[in-house]
C-alpha cells in the first residue's frame, strides 16, 4: 500500500515536523518556524495526494501494463531520492539558520536530481538491466568519477589540514613523519605479499581516510593553534603600537624583547632570526653603511661616486631603495625615523613614532629597506634620520624637501 | 556537406533483447546527432569543411579591417589640425588602443588564418585538416572573442592603455573602467583560437601530405604558414600567461605588477615582448609566403633559391625569439635608447606594406580558385595604386613627424611646438590624414570590386594564371572533397611539371605544354576514388565557443556567469566526445563518377 | 592557356616583393631626412642636436640613413629595371632555374656585411652614450601623471660651493650649460619616459626603479621635451624643458631658489592671495616657508589628496615660465619668442627675469585656476574616485571665484 514515492514524502514530512518542533521550541524564530511549518504541510499534503492517487503504482492490478518497459521490472533500489530529500532539507534549514549551508544543500539537490533523472531515463532505454546500466555509466561516469574523486580527495585533504593546523608546530612535523612512515610501511607490506586482495587494500585506504576525516572533524571543531604572524619588522613595529597590552604580555612571557623593534638592538623572533640575508636585485639603490667606527655614512654608488653626495635627499612619496651594509662587529639593524603619525589604538587617536627598520643582520652582511617618506622632513622638529639602535653615534640626517 | 555512408546495421555493445533500442553509430542515446543540412545558414554554422571555414575567417577579418580602419580614420581626423576636438583624450586613447588591437588580432592574424585554412590542405593534397571540428572551434572562438572585445565600447568604454598595455598603467587605479578587462579576456579567448588552429595545422602539414610530397616539395606558402603556426604554438602561451597575470591583478587583487608589493613593472614588458616579437613574424610570414607563391607564377619560373627561402623562414622562426628586448631599448635595461625609435610608425609601415599588401595580393591571386571568377583587373589597378599612394602618404609623414619630435599616442598636438616653415608638424599631420582617406578610398574600391563588380564578371577559366602548385588541380571552386583522387607528387611545383615538359637537350631548355589544366582535372575526375569519406558537420564547436565569452563576462561582472559559461563548455565537450561519427542521413547526395549514386556505402575506414 | 598570360601587367605591378619593401621604407626615410630639415625650429627636432649626446645620436642616424638610402636606391632601381626589362611580351617559358648557389650566398652575405658595418659605429655610439662616470651634478627626476618634478639633492657638485639645501621644482629643469649632469629618474605611478630630443635620447621612468641618463647642453638656452611613454589621459600634455644657464647664471638661480620666504606686504591683494592660497591650495602645493596665522610652517599633505602622493612645489613658480606640467607658458607669446629665440649670451638674463605681470599669460593661468579639469584631461571627478581610494590623479576643480583668482595671481606673481 505504501509505494516508494509516498514513503519518501511521508518521511520528508515527518522530518520536517520534527525540525519544526525542535526549531520552533528551541530557537523560536518566527520566520523559521513559518518556513518549516510550510514545508511540513506541503510535504504532508503531497504524501496524502500520493496515497490517494496510489502513486501510479505499477503493481496495481492492471494486466495491460505488462508490455511497457517500465512495468517489466521494478526499479532497483536507489539512493538518489534519499540524497535529494536530504539536500532539500539542508536547503530549508540553511535558509533559516546559516546561509552558506544553502549552497551545500543546493549542490546536493542538483547532483542528486541529475543522478536520479539519469538513472530513471537509462532504465527506460531497454528491457535489459545490464544494457541500461552500461548506458547510464557511459553517460554519467565521465562526470561522476572525476567530481566524486575530487570531492573525496578534497575532504580528506581538508581534514588533514585541520589536523595540521591544530597540532603544535613541532608536533606537525612529527605527525607528518609518522603518518608518512605508516603509509610507507603498509605499502611495503602490500608490495611484499603478492596476493593481497582488492578488498583489503580498499579497506585499508578507507580506514585511513575515515581516520583522517574524523580526526580532521574533531580538531577542526577544536580550532587552530595560536599562530602569531610576525615575519617582518614592520609587523612587530605595528603590533607594539596598535596592540600595546598584548605586546606587553608577550614581553612578560619572554616571547620577545620589550620596546619597539626599530629602537631595539635585540633580536626579535622570526623577523630577525629567519630573515633572508640575501638582497634582491634592484636598480640603482643608495647605500647606508655602518662603519667599524660606529658611524653611518651615505653613498650613491655608481657614476655619482665622484660627485660625493653625503647627505641623503629623497623626494616625497618616492619609493627609495636603501641597502644597509653592516661593517661593524656586532649584529645591528638600520632604522629610519620618519617623524610621527596619528594612529587609532582602542578607539583613541594616539601619536606614535613612524619608524621603519631592517632586520638584525650579522657583521659583514647587507639588507634592503625601501623608504617612502610621504611628508617633508621639516614638518617635524627632529626631522628625519637614519639610526642604529644601540649605537648612539650612528645617526644620519635624511632630508625630504 | 559530406558524402555520407549509411552505417552497417549492427549495434555496438550488448546483444539486444526484444525491445532493445540498438545504440547504433548514427544516433547516440537518441539525442546526440550530427547536423545534416548541406544548404542554408546551418550548413555554415555547423560546417567543419576547411574551405567554408577559411571563407568565414576571411569575411570576418575584412569586417574587422573596416572597424579598425574607421578607428584609424577617427584618429587621423583628430590629428588633422592642432588641438583637435573630434575625440576627447579618453576616447582617443581608447581609439588607438582598439585600432591596433583590432588590426593585429582581429584582422591580420585571422586573414592569414583564412589563407592557411583554405590553402594548406589543398596545397598538400589533403581533403581537410587533421582535426576538422577543432578547426570550426577556432573560427567560432575567434568570432565570439572579437565580438566580446568590441562590446566594451558599449559597456563602459574600451581599453585605453595602448595595445601593448604596459603595467602599472593597466592596473585598476590607472584604468578604472572595465575596458582593460575586456581587452585581456578578449585576447585570451582569441588566443585560444590561434593556439588550437596552430596545433591543427601543424599536425596537418606533418601528417597529411600527399604521397611523394616531402617537406622540401611543399609549396612555399605552406612552408611559411607552417613556420607561422610553430611560432604561434610557442608565442601564444606566453601572452596567455601575461594576460592571466593581468586578469588576476585587476579582477582578483593579485600583486604581480604592484610596485608597492615589490613587483617590477618590467615583468609585463618582458612577457609581452617575448610574445610580441614572434608576433610580428606571425603577422608577416604568411604574406611572405603568398608573395613567394605569386611571383613565380607570373615570372613563369620557380622561386629562386627555394631552399634558402625555406631555411630563412625557419631561421626567422628560431632567431626571432632572441631579440625581444629591442622593443625595450629605453626601458632602462642597460644600454641606451636611440632617437630614431621615436620614428615608431616604421613598424606599422612594415606591417602594412609587408603584411597587408601581401594579403591583398593573395586575394586577387586566389579569388578565381575560391569563388570561380576573377576580380576585375581595372578596378584592381585603381585599388592597388590608391592603396600604395595612400599608404605612403599616411605613414611616410609619420616618420618625419617622429623625427621632428612628436611622439606617438598623443591625442593632440599644439601649434607652438609645431615648428616654423611650411613643412612643419602641422603640414605633415594633415598630409597623413589625407593619406588615410586616400587609403580608405582604395580599400573601398576593393570591396566594390569584390562585392558588386564580381557579380558581373564572367566565370573564370580553370587556370587563369598558368599556375604551378597543387591547389590548382581542382575545380573552381574546389569540390567539397577537394581532390577526386589523392594526387601523387613527384616534384616541387607539381602542377607546372604536369603541364609542361622540358624537351631541350643538355643546357638548352624548351618547355612544351603537354596538357592543359582542364585536361588534367578531367583526368582526375575519371580516376576518382570510389569511396570518399569526409568528416561530418557538428553542433558542438559553435556551442563550446559560445560558452567562453560568457565565462569572460562572468569574470567582469558576476561569478555566476562563469559557472554558466563553464557549464556550457563542459556540456559541449561532452557532446563533442560522445556524438556519433556520422550523421544518419544527409540531404545531399552527389553523383559519383559514372552517374549512379553509389555514395551511400560503408567506407573502408 | 596563353590567354591567361596576357593579364599579367597588373600582376607584375602587384608583385612588389615584401622583402624589398624595406627599400621603399628606406627611400621614404631618406627623403624624410631631407624634408625634416625643412621644419625650422621645431622645438623637439631630432636633427638639431644641442648637446654632446644628441650630437652622437644625430651622427649615427645620418650615417645609417645614408647607407639605407643608398641601398634603397640601388634595390629600387634594380626592381624597376627588372620589371621593365622582363615584362611579358609573349616570350616562351624561360629556363626553370631554381637558384644559383653563388648568388644566394652572396645576397645573404652582402646585407650581413652591411649590417656589421653599421653595427660597429652603433655599438661605439651606444657605449659612449652609456657613459655616466664623467658627470658632475645630480638631479633627481620623478615623473608623475601628468607633470615632472625635479629635485636637486644636497651635493658638493654643480657649483663651486655645491648645493647646500635641497631644491624642489617642476616643469623646467635648470642645469649649468656645458656640464655633464646625471639624471636619476623614477616615477611615482605609471611608466613615463624622459625625452629632450635636442640633448639626448629617451629613458623610461619606471616606478620602483631608478634609471640614469646623462644630460649636457652645449650652450645656454631652453630645450623642449615631453613624456615619451604612454601614461594615460594627458600623456600628450606632459611636457618639460631643460634650461641651461651659464655658470654664473646657474649660481644666481640656485641662490634665488634657496632664498627665504618673504610673505607679501600686509593689506595688499597678494596678502589676501596668501590666505586664499593657504585655504585652497596648500593642502597639496608646498610653498617652502609659508606660515599660518600661528606662525607654524604649513606642511602640504598631497599624499592625502593625490593618489601618487605629491603635487608640484610652487615655492618659486614665477622663476619658471611654464605651468601645468609645462602644458602652457606662463609668459605671453611675445615674451616667449624673446626668451626662446634668445642668443646664448642674452639667454641668462631673459630667463632669470622670470615672469612679470606685464608679460604674464593671464588668460591661460586664470582658466587653469578657474577649472583645471576642463583645461587638461585628468582624473578629477570627485564622484568616481573609488578605484584610487578617494584620491585624485591630477588637480581637482576648486570652485574659485574671480576675486579669489585675482588674489591668487597677485600672490603667485610674488613667488620668485
| pLDDT for residue B352 | 65
Per-residue confidence band for C99, with pLDDT thresholds at 50, 70 and 90:
confident
Residues of chain B neighbouring A125 (CB-CB closer than 8 A): 21
DSSP states of B471-534: GGSS-SSPBTTB-SSPPPP-SSSHHHHHHEEE---TT---EEE---HHHHHHHHHHT--S----
**Pairing state of beta strands A319-326 and A286-290?**
parallel
Residues of B in contact with C226 (CB under 8 A): 407
Distance from CA of A288 to the nearest CA of C (A): 16
Residue from A317, A323, A397 to probe the interface with C (highest C Cβ count within 10 Å): A317
Question: What CATH code is assigned to C269-412?
Answer: 1.10.760
The predicted-structure confidence for C203-260, as pLDDT tens digits, reads as follows: 999 998 888 899 999 999 999 999 999 999 999 999 999 999 999 999 999 999 999 9
Backbone torsions φ then ψ of A70, nearest 5 degrees: -70, -25
Closest CB to C188 among A300, A304, A317: A317
pLDDT band at C34 (very low <50, low <70, confident <90, very high): low
Q: Does C384 touch chain B (CB under 8 A)?
A: yes
Contacts of A126 in chain B (CB under 8 A): 16-17, 19-21
pLDDT value at A370 more than 90 = no
Q: What is the mean pLDDT of residues B190-218?
A: 96
* Residue A27 near chain C (CB below 8 Å): no
- Rounded to a whole number of angstroms, the distance from the CA of A184 to the nearest CA of chain B is 38
CA distance C199 to chain A (A): 19
Q: How confident is the model at residue B326 (pLDDT cuts 50, 70, 90)?
A: confident
Q: CA A118 to CA A343: how far, in whole Å?
A: 62
Q: Any idea which of A30-34, A70-74, C100-104 has the lowest mean pLDDT?
A: A70-74
CA–CA distances in Å: residue C31 to residues A133, A250, B419, C72, C351: 80, 78, 19, 11, 37
Question: Which residues in chain C have Cβ-Cβ distances shorter than 8 Å to A307?
Answer: 135-138, 155-157, 182
CA distance A208 to chain B (A): 33
- Does residue B179 carry a pLDDT above 60? yes
Residues of C in contact with A313 (CB under 8 A): 140, 151, 153-154, 166
Average pLDDT over residues B393-415: 85
pLDDT score of C40: 60
Mutate to test the interface with C, among B348, B353, B368, B405 (most CBs of C within 10 A): B405
Interface of C with A (CB under 8 A): 132-138, 140, 142, 149, 151, 153-157, 165-168, 182, 184, 186, 188, 207-212, 286, 288, 297, 299, 301-303, 308-310, 313
Mean pLDDT across chain B? 86
CA distance B540 to B552: 19
The sheet with strand C147-152 has its strands ordered as C167-170, C147-152, C137-144, C181-187, C211-215
* Surface of B (424-453) touching C: CB under 8 A: 424-425
Q: In this predicted structure, what is the pLDDT of residue B423?
A: 79
What is the predicted pLDDT for the residue at B350? 58
Tell me the residue length of chain C.
Answer: 416
Comparison of pLDDT for B154 and A48, the residue scoring more:
B154
Q: Is B336 on the interface with A (CB under 8 A)?
A: no
Query: Cα angle vertex B319, ends C15, B287, to 5°?
Result: 20
Number of Cβ pairs < 8 A linking chain A and chain C: 100
Contact state of A135 with B574 under an 8 Å Cβ cutoff: no
In this predicted structure, the answer to whether residue B51 has a pLDDT above a threshold of 90 is: yes
The band of B344, judged by pLDDT with boundaries at 50, 70 and 90, is: very low
Cis peptide before C146 (omega within 30 of 0): yes
Which of B19, B168, B263, B564 has the most A C-beta neighbours within 10 Å, making it the best mutation to test the interface with A?
Answer: B19
- Chain C residues 13-72 within an 8 A CB cutoff of chain B: 13-19, 21-22, 24-25, 28-29, 31-33, 35-36, 38-47, 54, 57-58, 60-61, 64
A378 interface with C at CB cutoff 8 Å = yes
Please report the pLDDT score of residue B347 as a whole number.
46
CA distance B578 to A322: 62
Least confident piece of the model among A140-154, B577-591, C351-365, C397-411: B577-591
Show residues of chain A in contact with B18, CB under 8 Å.
Answer: 127
Which chain C residues contact residue A399 at CB under 8 A? Answer: 153-154, 165-166
Higher local confidence (pLDDT), C413 or A55: C413
Checking phi first, is residue A55 left (phi over 0); if not, alpha (psi -120 to 50) or beta? left
Q: What is the pLDDT of residue C36?
A: 52
Mean pLDDT computed over every residue of chain C:
88
CB neighbours (10 Å) of residue B467?
A: 26
The ipTM is: 0.86
Please report, in angstroms and rounded to a whole number, the separation of the first and last CA atoms in chain B.
19
- What torsion, rounded to 10 degrees, do the Cα atoms C294, C300, C304, C305 define? 110
Task: State the DSSP code for C63.
Answer: H
Determine contact: B162 vs chain C, CB below 8 A.
Answer: yes
- Best mutation site among B11, B13, B14 for testing chain A: the one with the most A CBs within 10 Å? B14
CB within 8 A of B15, min separation 6: which ones?
none
C13 pLDDT higher than 80: no
Task: Evaluate if residue C31 carries a pLDDT over 80.
Answer: no
Contact between C210 and A401 using a beta-carbon 8 Å cutoff: no
- For helices B109-124 and B50-78, give the axis angle rounded to 10 degrees: 150
Of B265, B301, B421, the CB nearest to C207: B265
Contact criterion met (CB below 8 Å) for B2 and B480: yes
Q: With bands split at pLDDT 50, 70 and 90, how would you rate the model's confidence at A147? A: confident
- Out of C149, C165, C209, whose CB is closest to A315? C149
Chain C contact set for A315 (CB, 8 A):
140, 142, 149, 151, 168, 310
Q: Which fold has domain A233-398?
A: Immunoglobulin-like (2.60.40)
A148-190 residue pLDDT tens: 899 999 999 999 999 999 998 899 999 999 999 999 998 898 8
User: How many whole angstroms separate alpha carbon A362 and alpha carbon A325?
Assistant: 10
Of C136, C138, C166, the CB nearest to A401: C166
- C168 and A379 within 8 Å at the Cβ level: the answer is no
Nearest Cα residue in chain C from A313: C153
Is C239 within 8 Å of C325 (Cβ atoms)? yes
Is B89 near chain A, with CB under 8 Å?
no
Residue in chain C lying closest to B344 (CA): C228
Confidence check: pLDDT of B280 > 50: yes
Task: List, for residues A302-338, the tens digit of each pLDDT value.
Answer: 765 556 788 899 999 988 889 999 999 999 999 999 9
Query: Considering only CA atoms, which of B139, B136, B144, B148 is closest in space to residue B57?
Result: B139
Please tell me which residue of chain B has the smallest CA distance to C14: B361
CB C368 within 8 A of CB C324: yes
Q: Which chains touch C (3 or more CB pairs under 8 A)?
A: A, B
Q: Does C130 contact B412 at a Cβ distance shorter than 8 Å?
A: no
Whether a cis peptide bond, with omega within 30° of 0, leads into B29 is no
pLDDT mean across residues, chain A: 86
- Torsion-angle region of C102 (φ positive above 0: left; ψ -120 to 50: alpha; else: beta): alpha
Helix, strand and coil in chain C, % to nearest 5: 45, 15, 40
The pairs formed by A116-125 with CB atoms below 8 angstroms and a separation of 24 or more are A116/A78, A116/A80, A116/A81, A116/A84, A119/A78, A119/A80, A120/A75, A123/A70, A123/A75, A124/A69, A124/A70, A125/B21
Name every chain C residue with its beta carbon within 8 A of the beta carbon of A374. Answer: 301, 303, 309
A131, A136, A282, A374: best mutation site toward chain B, by most B Cβ within 10 Å?
Answer: A131
Amino acid at each position: 500500500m505504501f509505494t516508494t514515492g509516498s514513503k519518501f514524502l511521508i518521511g520528508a514530512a515527518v522530518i520536517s515536523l520534527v525540525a519544526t518542533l525542535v526549531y520552533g521550541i528551541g530557537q523560536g524564530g518566527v520566520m523559521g518556524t513559518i518556513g518549516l511549518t510550510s514545508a511540513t504541510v506541503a510535504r504532508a499534503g503531497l504524501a496524502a495526494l500520493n496515497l490517494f492517487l496510489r502513486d501510479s503504482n505499477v503493481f496495481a492490478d492492471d494486466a495491460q501494463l505488462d508490455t511497457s518497459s517500465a512495468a517489466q521490472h521494478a526499479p532497483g533500489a536507489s539512493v538518489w531520492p534519499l540524497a535529494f530529500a536530504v539536500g532539500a532539507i539542508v536547503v530549508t534549514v540553511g535558509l533559516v539558520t546559516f546561509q552558506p549551508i544553502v549552497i551545500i544543500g543546493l549542490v546536493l539537490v542538483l547532483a542528486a536530481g541529475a543522478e536520479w533523472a539519469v538513472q530513471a531515463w537509462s532504465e527506460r532505454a531497454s528491457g535489459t538491466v545490464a544494457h541500461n546500466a552500461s548506458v547510464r555509466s557511459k553517460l554519467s561516469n565521465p562526470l561522476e568519477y572525476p567530481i566524486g574523486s575530487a570531492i573525496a580527495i578534497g575532504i580528506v585533504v581538508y581534514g588533514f589540514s585541520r589536523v595540521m593546523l591544530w597540532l603544535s608546530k613541532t608536533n606537525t612535523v612529527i605527525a607528518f613523519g609518522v603518518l608518512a612512515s605508516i603509509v610507507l610501511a603498509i605499502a611495503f607490506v602490500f608490495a611484499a605479499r603478492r596476493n593481497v586482495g582488492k578488498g583489503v587494500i580498499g579497506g585499508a585506504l578507507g580506514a585511513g581516510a575515515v581516520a583522517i576525516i574524523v580526526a580532521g572533524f574533531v580538531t577542526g571543531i577544536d580550532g587552530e593553534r595560536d599562530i602569531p604572524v610576525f615575519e617582518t619588522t614592520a609587523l612587530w613595529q605595528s603590533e607594539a603600537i596598535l596592540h600595546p597590552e598584548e605586546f606587553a604580555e608577550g614581553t612578560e612571557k619572554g616571547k620577545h624583547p620589550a620596546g619597539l623593534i626599530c629602537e631595539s638592538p635585540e633580536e626579535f623572533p622570526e623577523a630577525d632570526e629567519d630573515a633572508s640575508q640575501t638582497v634582491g636585485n634592484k636598480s640603482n639603490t643608495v647605500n647606508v653603511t655602518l662603519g667599524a667606527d660606529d658611524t653611518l655614512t651615505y653613498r650613491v654608488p655608481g657614476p655619482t661616486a665622484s660627485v660625493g653626495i653625503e647627505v641623503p635627499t629623497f623626494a616625497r612619496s618616492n619609493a627609495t631603495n636603501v641597502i644597509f651594509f653592516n661593517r661593524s662587529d656586532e649584529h645591528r639593524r638600520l632604522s629610519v625615523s620618519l617623524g610621527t603619525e596619528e594612529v587609532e589604538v582602542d578607539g583613541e587617536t594616539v601619536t606614535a613614532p613612524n619608524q621603519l627598520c631592517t632586520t638584525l643582520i650579522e657583521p659583514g652582511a647587507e639588507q634592503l629597506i625601501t623608504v617612502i617618506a610621504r611628508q617633508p622632513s621639516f614638518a617635524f622638529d627632529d626631522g628625519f634620520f637614519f639610526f642604529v639602535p644601540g649605537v648612539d653615534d650612528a645617526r644620519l640626517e635624511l632630508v625630504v624637501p | 556537406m559530406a558524402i555520407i555512408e549509411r552505417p552497417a546495421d549492427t549495434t555496438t555493445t550488448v546483444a539486444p533483447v526484444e525491445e532493445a533500442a540498438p545504440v547504433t553509430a548514427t544516433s547516440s542515446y537518441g539525442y546526440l546527432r550530427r547536423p545534416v543540412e548541406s544548404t542554408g545558414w546551418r550548413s555554415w554554422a555547423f560546417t567543419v569543411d576547411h574551405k567554408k571555414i577559411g571563407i568565414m575567417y576571411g569575411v570576418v577579418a575584412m569586417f574587422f579591417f573596416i572597424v579598425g580602419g574607421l578607428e584609424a580614420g577617427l584618429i587621423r581626423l583628430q590629428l588633422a589640425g592642432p588641438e583637435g576636438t573630434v575625440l576627447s583624450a579618453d576616447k582617443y586613447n581608447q581609439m588607438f588602443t582598439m585600432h591596433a588591437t583590432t588590426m593585429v588580432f582581429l584582422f591580420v592574424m585571422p586573414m592569414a588564418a583564412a589563407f592557411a585554412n583554405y590553402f594548406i590542405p589543398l596545397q598538400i593534397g589533403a581533403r581537410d585538416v587533421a582535426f576538422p571540428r577543432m578547426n570550426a572551434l577556432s573560427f567560432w572562438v575567434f568570432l565570439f572573442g572579437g565580438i566580446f572585445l568590441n562590446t566594451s565600447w558599449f559597456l563602459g568604454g574600451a581599453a585605453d592603455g595602448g595595445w601593448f598595455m604596459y603595467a602599472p598603467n593597466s592596473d585598476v587605479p590607472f584604468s578604472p573602467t572595465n575596458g582593460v578587462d575586456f581587452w585581456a579576456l578578449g585576447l585570451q579567448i582569441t588566443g585560444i583560437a590561434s593556439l588550437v588552429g596552430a596545433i591543427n595545422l601543424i599536425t596537418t602539414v606533418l601528417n597529411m601530405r600527399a604521397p611523394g610530397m616531402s617537406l622540401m616539395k611543399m609549396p612555399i606558402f605552406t612552408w611559411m604558414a607552417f613556420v607561422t603556426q610553430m611560432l604561434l604554438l610557442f608565442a601564444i602561451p606566453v601572452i596567455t600567461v601575461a594576460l592571466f597575470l593581468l586578469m588576476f591583478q585587476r579582477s582578483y587583487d593579485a600583486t604581480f605588477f604592484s610596485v608597492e608589493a615589490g613587483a617590477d613593472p618590467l615583468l609585463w614588458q618582458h612577457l609581452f615582448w617575448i610574445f610580441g616579437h614572434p608576433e610580428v613574424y606571425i603577422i608577416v610570414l604568411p604574406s611572405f609566403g603568398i608573395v613567394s607563391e605569386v611571383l613565380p607564377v607570373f615570372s613563369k619560373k620557380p622561386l629562386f633559391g627555394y631552399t634558402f627561402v625555406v631555411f630563412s623562414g625557419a631561421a626567422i622562426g628560431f632567431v626571432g625569439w632572441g631579440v625581444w628586448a629591442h622593443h625595450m631599448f629605453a626601458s632602462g635595461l642597460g644600454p641606451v635608447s636611440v632617437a630614431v625609435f621615436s620614428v615608431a610608425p616604421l613598424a606599422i609601415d612594415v606591417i602594412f606594406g609587408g603584411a597587408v599588401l601581401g594579403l591583398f595580393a593573395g586575394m586577387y591571386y586566389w579569388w578565381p580558385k575560391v569563388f570561380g571568377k576573377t576580380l576585375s583587373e581595372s578596378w584592381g589597378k585603381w585599388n592597388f595604386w590608391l592603396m600604395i599612394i595612400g599608404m605612403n602618404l599616411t605613414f611616410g609623414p609619420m616618420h618625419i613627424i617622429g623625427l621632428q619630435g612628436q611622439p606617438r599616442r598623443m591625442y593632440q598636438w599644439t601649434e607652438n611646438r609645431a615648428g616654423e616653415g611650411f613643412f612643419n608638424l602641422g603640414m605633415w599631420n594633415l598630409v597623413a590624414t589625407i593619406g588615410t582617406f586616400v587609403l580608405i578610398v582604395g580599400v573601398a574600391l576593393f570591396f566594390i570590386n569584390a562585392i558588386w563588380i564580381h557579380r558581373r564578371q564572367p566565370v573564370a577559366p580553370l587556370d587563369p594564371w598558368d599556375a604551378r602548385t597543387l591547389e590548382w588541380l581542382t575545380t573552381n571552386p574546389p569540390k567539397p572533397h577537394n581532390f577526386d583522387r589523392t594526387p601523387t607528387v613527384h616534384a616541387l611545383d607539381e602542377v607546372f611539371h604536369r603541364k609542361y615538359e622540358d624537351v631541350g637537350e643538355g643546357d638548352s631548355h624548351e618547355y612544351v605544354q603537354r596538357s592543359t589544366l582542364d585536361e588534367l582535372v578531367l583526368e582526375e575526375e575519371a580516376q576518382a576514388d570510389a569511396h570518399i569519406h569526409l568528416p561530418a558537420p557538428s553542433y558542438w564547436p559553435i556551442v563550446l565557443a559560445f560558452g567562453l565569452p560568457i565565462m569572460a563576462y562572468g569574470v567582469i561582472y558576476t561569478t555566476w556567469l562563469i559557472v554558466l559559461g563553464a557549464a556550457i563548455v563542459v556540456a559541449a565537450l561532452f557532446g563533442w566526445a560522445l556524438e556519433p561519427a556520422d550523421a544518419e542521413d544527409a540531404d545531399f547526395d552527389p553523383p559519383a563518377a559514372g552517374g549512379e549514386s553509389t555514395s551511400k556505402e560503408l567506407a573502408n575506414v | 592557356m596563353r590567354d591567361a598570360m596576357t593579364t599579367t601587367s597588373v600582376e607584375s605591378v602587384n608583385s612588389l616583393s615584401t622583402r624589398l619593401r624595406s627599400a621603399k621604407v628606406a627611400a621614404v626615410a631618406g627623403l624624410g631626412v631631407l624634408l625634416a630639415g625643412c621644419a625650422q625650429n621645431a622645438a623637439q627636432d631630432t636633427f638639431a642636436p644641442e648637446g654632446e649626446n644628441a650630437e652622437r645620436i644625430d651622427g649615427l642616424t645620418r650615417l645609417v640613413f645614408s647607407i639605407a638610402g643608398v641601398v634603397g636606391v640601388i634595390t629600387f632601381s634594380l626592381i624597376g629595371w627588372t620589371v621593365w626589362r622582363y615584362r611579358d611580351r609573349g616570350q616562351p617559358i624561360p629556363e626553370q632555374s631554381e637558384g644559383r648557389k653563388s648568388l644566394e650566398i652572396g645576397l645573404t652575405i652582402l646585407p650581413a656585411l652591411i649590417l656589421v658595418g653599421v653595427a660597429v659605429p652603433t655599438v661605439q655610439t651606444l657605449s659612449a652614450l652609456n657613459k655616466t662616470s664623467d658627470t658632475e651634478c645630480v638631479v633627481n627626476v620623478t615623473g608623475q601623471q601628468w607633470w615632472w618634478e625635479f629635485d636637486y639633492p644636497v651635493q658638493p657638485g654643480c657649483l663651486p660651493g655645491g648645493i647646500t639645501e635641497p631644491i624642489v621644482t617642476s616643469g623646467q629643469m635648470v642645469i649649468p650649460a656645458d656640464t655633464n649632469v646625471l639624471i636619476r629618474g623614477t616615477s611615482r605611478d605609471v611608466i613615463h619616459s624622459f625625452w629632450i630630443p635636442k640633448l639626448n635620447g629617451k629613458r623610461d621612468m619606471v616606478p620602483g626603479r631608478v634609471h640614469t641618463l646623462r644630460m649636457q647642453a652645449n650652450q645656454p638656452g631652453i630645450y623642449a621635451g615631453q613624456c615619451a611613454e604612454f601614461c594615460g589621459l594627458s600623456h600628450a600634455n606632459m611636457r618639460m624643458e631643460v634650461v641651461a644657464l651659464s655658470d654664473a647664471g646657474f649660481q644666481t638661480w640656485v641662490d634665488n631658489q634657496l632664498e627665504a620666504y618673504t610673505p607679501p606686504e600686509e593689506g595688499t591683494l597678494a596678502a589676501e592671495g596668501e590666505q586664499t592660497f593657504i585655504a585652497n591650495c596648500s593642502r597639496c602645493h608646498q610653498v617652502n616657508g609659508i606660515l599660518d596665522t600661528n606662525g607654524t610652517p604649513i606642511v602640504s599633505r598631497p599624499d592625502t589628496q593625490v593618489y601618487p602622493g605629491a603635487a608640484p612645489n610652487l615655492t618659486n613658480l614665477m622663476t619658471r615660465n611654464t605651468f601645468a606640467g609645462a602644458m602652457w607658458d606662463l609668459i605671453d607669446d611675445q615674451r616667449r619668442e624673446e626668451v626662446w629665440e634668445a642668443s646664448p649670451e642674452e639667454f641668462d638674463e631673459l630667463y632669470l627675469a622670470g615672469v612679470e605681470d606685464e608679460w604674464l599669460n593671464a588668460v591661460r593661468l586664470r582658466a587653469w585656476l578657474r577649472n583645471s579639469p576642463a583645461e587638461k584631461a585628468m582624473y578629477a571627478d570627485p564622484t568616481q574616485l573609488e578605484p584610487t581610494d578617494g584620491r585624485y590623479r591630477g588637480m581637482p576643480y576648486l570652485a574659485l571665484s574671480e576675486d579669489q583668482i585675482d588674489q591668487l595671481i597677485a600672490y603667485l606673481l610674488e613667488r620668485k
